[in-house]
Amino acid sequence: MDNHTQKRNIRLVALDMDGTLLNSEHEISEANREAILKAKEKGVHIVLSTGRPFKHVVDYARSLELNSFIVTVNGGEIWDSNGKLLDRTLLQIEQIKMMWDLKKHHNTKFWAITVDKVFRDDFPEEIALSEHQWLKFGFDIEDDEVRNKVLEELNKQTLQVTNSSPTNLEVNPYGISKANALEKVCERIGITMENVMAVGDSLNDIAMIQSAGIGIAMGNAQETVKEAADWITAANDEDGVAKAILKFVL
């Protein structure tokens, strides 16, 4: 890490949630809370940037008393601090049908996120006739060989494929990423990605880690993410977010 990286004027901290801000108990540690509060007091925007849908994020944002933007479903949506939707990009019905067929063919676990629901067990019988608006589709596959076959099929399509854990595949519309969403947030604030510190642990965090002025990988991050980062902090169970904020923001 060079001196230039250390001297960045960080005005926005983008935090992934699972495996990053949240510990193994899906809680925010006291150390992380204190560091976030101090950064906020310094006028730094704290932006949750997650694969989760808004309704699975909002309580955490409220508990931290955040007053900035929220990036959800890997960049598929951007919300303001009042819970007003600012930006949304949807998957096409044909793409959902293709992925549902792929799930059935390989008998995989799945989840799917619409603008108002998360499907895990049930699923609309007639996808084309359903009125759902689809944001993301996910596969959870323990078997490496099966996962690679599914990934191979997905890569033939015009889709954005990442992961939020080593065993899953997360699919968004092509071009959607946390990085692109954060660029839009920066435009609204009047800063650039040079003023951003991004922290994450999985493949859906790589784009924002590489695009940010300072990209931080968690100690528990996947190896590819660590290779993409400017610095590696402690694990999510060891207050890694707090340590990164203390080092580069405070």
CA-to-CA distance for 205 and 32, rounded, in angstroms? 19
Half-sphere exposure of 116 (CA within 13 A, CB side): 4
Active site residue: 2, 16, 121, 237, which one?
Answer: 16
Contact 132, 120 (CB under 8 A): no
User: Is 16 in the active site?
Assistant: yes
Query: In whole angstroms, what separates CA 7 from the centre of its chain?
Result: 26
Q: Kindly calculate the radius of gyration of the chain based on its CA atoms and give it in whole angstroms.
A: 18
- Stated as kind and residue range, the H or E segment containing 39 is helix 30-41
CA-to-CA distance for 226 and 5, rounded, in angstroms? 16
CA-to-CA distance for 142 and 74, rounded, in angstroms? 22
Give DSSP secondary structure letters for 148-214.
HHHHHHHTTSSEEEE-SSTTEEEEEETT--HHHHHHHHHHHHT--GGGEEEEESSGGGHHHHHHSSE
Tell me which residues are annotated as active site.
16
